Amino acid sequence: MPAEPDVKPPFTVRSFSSVHGSDALPSPLGGGTVSLIGEADSKTFGVSFNGTLTSSARLTGKEKLVASLYIKCDGQEPGRRITVGTVDLGALKSAQPAPAVMATGEATAFVPLASITCASLAIRIDESDKPPFIVKTFTEKDIQIARDITVQDSTVNLIGEPDSKSFGASYRGTFSSLMELRGETTLVAHLYMKCDTKPPSETAAIHVGTAKMGEAPKGRGDSLRIMSADVTAFVPLREVECVKLGLQ
């Protein structure tokens, strides 16, 4: 006898009024239906919402719809409803005719689709993403920052949001002095736009801020220094093009 062809289980659509299992619809929803679509015995299936907004509502683009799925729907009190899954339906999208809205997602529940008896909805509004931090790095092999004072293998990092005028500055390098220092001088990082290779006392670059990195080491000789400071410039971090070290 010829083998019988495989027959896939038929798809099931279970629809619930979006207020079933909820005391009220979350604003700005005015009404609608939650539908579960898939194989009756499968724990993974599609979820869709089709509904309307309240008459005065307007979408901002930040509203995300979340559906909770239950196998008992006897009330809001603890133990009256048993949650078997939640699904993020993503952002509410405008549909036609206005003011219709829709959202879709895929759910994985603890029980098969056929066992789910109601659903409720909630609105989530995510905080807007903050701009990413950037790091701008400036290195020098061997520079003279004052008479008989040099800095070797220096690295200055500027860290912060690209459009912010306030950000962090870090320094690492070897401070070398042929003269006796009494600890009364401060290592500073001057920030510039339109840079050149001249020292701070001669440069034609546009000075936009100064970071006071920390006290220069006392005495003479070589000293590895690691310092950090907050700085506020006249321009955003992304506009800073170079850094020149100096003493104050």
Q: Is 84 helix (H, G, I), strand (E, B) or coil?
A: strand
pTM as predicted: 0.50
pLDDT of residue 2: 55
Chain centre to alpha carbon of residue 169: 22
Residues 63 and 28 sit within 8 Å (Cβ to Cβ)? yes
Contacts of 202 (CB under 8 A, 6+ apart): none
Query: Rounded to the nearest 5 degrees, what angle is found at the Cα of 61, between the Cα atoms of 56 and 66?
Result: 90
User: Given this model, what pLDDT does residue 120 score?
Assistant: 84
pLDDT at 21: 44
Written as six digits, the tokens of 122 are 């909630």
Q: Which pLDDT band, with edges at 50, 70 and 90, does 46 fall under?
A: very high
CATH class of 134-247: mainly beta
Task: Tell me the pLDDT tens digit for each residue of 140-162.
Answer: 888 888 888 888 999 999 999 99
Domain ranges of the chain: 11-125, 134-247
Say how many C-beta atoms besides its own lie within 10 A of residue 208's C-beta: 18
Residue 176: predicted pLDDT = 87
Q: Is residue 44 predicted with pLDDT exceeding 80?
A: yes
Q: Which amino acid is at 63?
A: E
Residue-wise pLDDT for 80-95, tens only, equals 678 899 999 888 777 6
Residue 8: pLDDT over 80? no
- For residue 191, the model assigns a pLDDT of 95
DSSP 113: G
User: Chain-wide mean pLDDT for the chain?
Assistant: 83
3-class SS of residue 239: helix
